[in-house]
Amino acid sequence: MNPPSFKHRLLTAALATAAGLGVLFLRGHPGVWVEKFDHACVRAAAGDGLVFDTGADNTTITASKLAPRPDAARPVQLVNVTDDPRRIFEHPNLETASLSSRLALFQSTAIALPVTRGATAQPMPAPLARATISYAQAKGSISTLPLVNQVPLPPHTSGGDHTLAGFHTIESTPAAPGRIPMLAHWQGKGLVPSIDLLTLMALHGTIPQDLKIIPGKHIRLGLGGPVIPLDAYGQTPTATPSPPSFPPLIAAELAGTPPPANPAPLANPNTVCLIRATGEKTHTTSIIPPERINAILTLAQTAPVPTDPRKYRPLPLPATAAIILAVALLAFWLTGIHGSNRHLAFALLATLHFPLLSALMDITGHWFSLTAPLTTLLTTWLIPAKPSFGASNSKLNTQN
């Protein structure tokens, strides 16, 4: 086989360079797949067991390791509601008004509701609507999440604008053994959290708008919050519960007169209070068993959080353009090879791009667009070689 002409090789390299530079300048345009591919390559080159965040400029990528940080969660205080023999919590008006007035004393509150799926959708209660997570916060398919559209029992109180609601059970889709429900899909409205997820959010100072969800992988409670494992059905494995290391407070003593002798556990404004009924008569109203509460508290302490962040900034455009030109020159040289060796040489050069990206990230903390130089290389590779005119003419004369 005759080698390709010098002119054809030069034109091929020039065309490949233009293609690579064109892809490079298309990277920042919305809707273009180039940026997503480049970010995926950066994540793969950074290694496994990391979580990634993209800066506001959509170019700086931060990779963080995951490690447990028990001190990251807010302090917790259990408050037990007993049988109230002194009738402190009785109110002359409606019970709903009494409960609302007490919930208003807290900076934020969360209540639990049952949800289910019925033949006819019902309006979403206000506390649940305030806790709804938008579809845009979930990346991936949500088709396997439990579908709900009703609250079988209406809430006793709306609690005000600072009160959110989460479901404690999905009556139409019970949780699997050894699993805690985290999310459900309210048809046409968004994703709704469980009371367990709301508890974790309270312990880490997170609001619904901060969540980042990848169904089948994890839920991230904000940029610096814990990463909670999540299966495709919106559930997380139950953590082995450990008994609380702090004594509970008695609600009647907190509200009584004189005030409690030791109010220190509630003096910290960051303290999260978990109120539960434990009396001989009132315990039947408690909808979440102590084992489940302890499992959530254990998960809050043991869930890994991002640590040791490392930022990777994009390589300046002139440097990336220089890489494209270098690849074009190498491709120009490789076009002089013919036969199967040509394909082998191009394949080898293509595979070297990824180690180059990984080395650049480790040494300089920069990343470059793999799409642009690969486009340059593939353009040169795929354009068929054209033999030189002199060689072809000589072969023709020989045949004559």
Condensed to tens digits (0 to 9), the pLDDT of residues 131-181 reads 999 999 999 999 999 999 999 877 665 666 778 899 999 988 888 888 999
Residue 311 pairs with which residues in a beta bridge?
A: 62
**Amino acid at the residue 271:** T
pLDDT bracket for residue 217 (50, 70, 90): very high
As given in the structure block, the two tokens for residue 104 are 């208003």
Domains in the chain: boundaries = 6-67+309-399, 70-307
Q: What percentage of the chain's residues is helix, strand, coil (to nearest 5)?
A: 40, 20, 40
Q: Give residue 294's pLDDT.
A: 85
Mean of per-residue pLDDT scores for the chain: 80
pLDDT bracket for residue 392 (50, 70, 90): very low
pLDDT bracket for residue 284 (50, 70, 90): low
Select the more confidently predicted residue: 346 or 339.
Answer: 346
**Across 67-86, average pLDDT:** 77
Contacts of 131 (CB under 8 A, 6+ apart): 110, 164, 165, 166, 192, 193, 198, 208
Global pTM?
A: 0.77
H helix or E strand, kind and range, residue 373: helix 371-382
**Across 203-209, average pLDDT:** 91
Q: Give residue 94's pLDDT.
A: 38
**CA–CA separation, 335 and 338 (whole Å):** 7
Show the beta-strand stretches assigned E in the chain.
50-54, 61-68, 76-81, 109-115, 147-148, 163-170, 179-181, 183-186, 190-193, 211-214, 218-221, 227-229, 235-237, 249-250, 272-277, 304-314, 366-367
Q: Give residue 257's pLDDT.
A: 46
Select the more confidently predicted residue: 214 or 79.
Answer: 214
pLDDT, tens digit, 9 for 90 and up, residues 31-44: 567 888 888 888 88
Residue 239 CA from chain centroid, whole number: 20
Assign 177 to helix, strand or coil. Answer: coil
DSSP of 186-205:
ETTTEEEEBHHHHHHHHHTT
Radius of gyration of the chain (CA): 31
Q: Give residue 134's pLDDT.
A: 96
Q: Give residue 360's pLDDT.
A: 84
Residue 249: left (phi > 0), alpha (psi -120 to 50), or beta? beta
Helical spans, DSSP H, in 29-71: 33-46
pLDDT, tens digit, 9 for 90 and up, residues 246-255: 677 776 666 5
Q: Residues of the chain with pLDDT > 90: what percent? A: 27
pLDDT, tens digit, 9 for 90 and up, residues 354-380: 888 888 888 888 988 888 899 999 998
Q: Give residue 245's pLDDT.
A: 61
pLDDT, tens digit, 9 for 90 and up, residues 251-271: 666 655 455 555 555 556 677
Q: Residues of the chain with pLDDT > 70: what percent? A: 78
Least confident of 2-6, 43-47, 290-294, 327-331: 2-6
Residues 145 and 234 sit within 8 Å (Cβ to Cβ)? yes
